[in-house]
Structure 1
Amino acid sequence: MTNQALPPVVDAATWERRLASLRAREKAATRELDAIAAERRRLPMVELPDYTLEGEDGPVRLADVFEGRRQLIVYNHMWSPGQEWQCPGCTGFTSQYTRLEFLDNYDARFVIVTQGPIEEALAYKHRVGNRMTWYSTANSSFGTDVGAPPGGGFAVNVFLRDGDTVHRTWHTNGRGTEQIGHSFALIDLLPYGRQEEWQDSPEGWPQSPTYSRWATSKDIAALYGPGSGAS
């Protein structure tokens, strides 16, 4: 037996009724997300200037970051100059994305853009075992113009290319990014959830300070970086 708080134990019929009630709310939330996605497809867009970023092979026009595709998702990774370990939230979040080839069937690509100089950004990518393609906006106003300035937070932006002209179609930051990752979705299925003190949980549930259970950037490097055995 454990001294830790547990959900109440009920008979199977009672459990099925409670689950059915919750499932009705879950299905309603799914339909609302479908409606939000439909509205997102109807958003207008903004034409962008002809930015030049820095890639692994040198300068590259934003239109060429698409690599022939029409749609582009960009994760704007936070960057602290001179730091060995960058934002743990960004580092952990982007470590989820290891197989992005499925986007090819949707005429789309997903990359990271950071304010860090490209040499430092690529070194950090290697250090933490990140699998995504990185670009730098250190010598461009691109990051600032799409909501991720030097010293600012992270963001997700989506773009649509029409020939050599690029348009910005969507943007989010903060908890808006949770929907596009799987880590919190999985954790929220667990009986104890994220175990963070801000969560609405039954009395006695384990709760810790916000972020205290998150992996650090050093943890991510140990799990996925050189020498980790990850493949």
Structure 2
Amino acid sequence: MSTNALPPIVDADTWQRQLEALRVREKTATRELDAIAAQRRRLPMVEMPDYTLEGEDGPVRLADLFDGKSQLIVYNHMWFPGEQWQCTGCTGFTSQFARLEFLGNHDARFVIVTQGPIDEALTYKRRVGNRMAWYSTANSPFGTDVGAPPGGGFAVNVFLRDGDTVYRTWHTNGRGTEQLSHTFALIDLLPYGRQEQWQDSPEGWPQSPTYSRWSDSKDIAVLYGDPNT
């Protein structure tokens, strides 16, 4: 007999009844997320100054980051000066977004902004195989003003453009970014889940220190990056 930690074994009818009971909670959560999104669409907004950032082709105004679109999602990537490998969480999170063209159908764009100097940022982008558009706020207060100062954490900000005027409409950080990730959504479907010590799991379930199962930046570079950087 197996000595592994396993869920109880039941007949198909008992399994179906318990699945349907869980489904009630899942559908309730889905409707609550719909309601949250509706409230998000009704948030007021704040006008932003006319920031200038640095892009691959030189200085670029904040309004131009939209690339003609009216809506913009910005991921503020953590940056540690002089380090070859940047934040594991940020690197892993942004490595998911290899196909973003669908946002164009919704009049939107998704980019990365970091405190790192643009040349270093672009080198890191290639090193880890990231395909998103990167910009630098190293010479601009933009990062600080949207919750991602030098030496600070990561963030997600959303903006709306009306002509050349840009408005900030939404912000999150910490675990608020999980809703944008497919990795945790898939892992949470698994019987053992994330296997991190903070999770509420049955007795005997495999658990490891938080973050210990995450791919680090070197792993991501090996899988997706440019070996010449």
Query: What is the TM-score normalised by the length of structure 1?
Result: 0.98
**Aligned twin of 1:137:** 137
> How big is the alpha-carbon RMSD for the aligned residues of Structure 1 and Structure 2?
0.9
Distance 2:101 2:121 in 1: 22
Distance 1:133 1:227 in 2: 20
Which amino acid counterpart does residue 156 of structure 1 have in structure 2? V
Distance 2:3 2:66 in 1: 54
Q: Percent identity?
A: 82
**Aligned twin of 1:177:** 177
Distance 1:78 1:23 in 2: 37
Task: Indicate conservation of the 8 Å contact 2:129/2:225, yes or no.
Answer: yes
1:118-157: CA deviation from partner (whole Å, max 9, x where unpaired): 0000000000000100000000000000000000000000
**Aligned twin of 2:57:** 57
Q: Which runs of 4+ in 1 moved over 3 A?
A: none
Counterparts of residues 1-231 of structure 1 (less than 5 Å): 1-227=1-227
Other structure's SS at 1:20 match: helix
Distance 2:4 2:198 in 1: 19
Distance 1:2 1:131 in 2: 44
Deviation at 1:2, TM superposition (A): 3.3
Other structure's SS at 1:192 match: coil
1:153-209: CA deviation from partner (whole Å, max 9, x where unpaired): 000000000000000000000000000110000000000000000000000000000
Structure 1 gaps of 5+ residues are: none
Deviation at 1:226, TM superposition (A): 1.8
Distance 2:185 2:138 in 1: 33
Distance 1:67 1:210 in 2: 38
Which amino acid counterpart does residue 203 of structure 2 have in structure 1? E
Deviation at 1:227, TM superposition (A): 4.4
Distance 1:113 1:199 in 2: 32
1:24-57: CA deviation from partner (whole Å, max 9, x where unpaired): 0000000000000000000000000000000000
Structure 2 gaps of 5+ residues are: none
Give the length in aligned residue pairs.
228
Query: What is the TM-score normalised by the length of structure 2?
Result: 0.98
